[in-house]
């Protein structure tokens, strides 16, 4: 299973984590959507984003068997020396390769590989933990979707913001 996850912090002090589970590394065959609300979210601490993000990720990924790759919104590592970011902590936590896909440049992440998708002139910044960065960048480049943001990350973001659609 190939999973893309995102977390949204709500005004009420909770966080909603979402995961989109797919059967292929191109994220074209969606298997499931998941979302979980988490209370008691840590405040943001510069350079320690993972302390805030990991508990909601744990909640939404709990019980998910067979995950072979996780894609997160953010950086796997924060500098060329390997200072761990969210992705490195998630790699240690879930024991799977993690691709970090960031929408904006982080000043110390000079090692991140810029990836241009679609017709966008603005790159995504790709880092990885547990796999080569070049392989991660190639996977991001070829993920489903014609726009800058791969469809699966856009979907994870929407689910994190809005939750799962109500069933009739």
Decide: 86 and 55 in contact? Cβ < 8 Å: no
Domain-located, residue 38: yes
Residue 41: what pLDDT? Answer: 78
DSSP bridge pairs for 21: 3, 32
Q: How far apart are CA 135 and CA 138, in angstroms?
A: 5
Q: How far apart are CA 29 and CA 72, in angstroms?
A: 18
Domain-located, residue 168: no
Pull the structure tokens for residue 94. Answer: 């879930």
- Structural domains of the chain, count: 1
Encode pLDDT of 62-119 as tens digits: 999 999 999 999 999 999 998 899 999 999 999 999 999 999 999 999 999 999 998 9
Domain-located, residue 10: yes
Decide: 136 and 72 in contact? Cβ < 8 Å: no
Any idea what the CATH number is for the domain that residue 91 is in?
3.30.2170.10
* Owning domain of residue 26: 2-162
Decide: 21 and 86 in contact? Cβ < 8 Å: no
Domain-located, residue 60: yes
Which of 18-22, 71-75, 81-85, 134-138 has the weakest average pLDDT? Answer: 81-85
């Amino acid at each position: 299973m190939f999973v893309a996850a995102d977390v949204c912090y709500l005004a009420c002090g909770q966080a909603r984590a979402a995961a989109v589970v797919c059967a292929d590394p191109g994220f074209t065959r969606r298997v499931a959507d998941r979302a979980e609300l988490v209370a008691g979210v840590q405040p943001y601490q510069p350079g320690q984003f993972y302390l805030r993000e990991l508990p909601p990720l744990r909640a939404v990924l709990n019980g998910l068997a067979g995950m072979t790759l996780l894609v997160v919104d953010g950086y796997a590592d924060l500098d060329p020396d390997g200072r761990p970011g969210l992705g490195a902590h998630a790699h240690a936590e879930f024991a799977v390769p993690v691709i970090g896909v960031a929408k904006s440049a982080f000043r110390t992440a000079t090692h991140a590989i810029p990836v241009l998708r679609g017709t966008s002139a603005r790159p995504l910044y790709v880092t990885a933990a547990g796999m080569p960065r070049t392989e991660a960048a190639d996977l991001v480049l070829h993920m489903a979707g014609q726009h800058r943001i791969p469809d699966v990350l856009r979907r994870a973001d929407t689910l994190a913001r809005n939750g799962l659609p109500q069933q009739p």
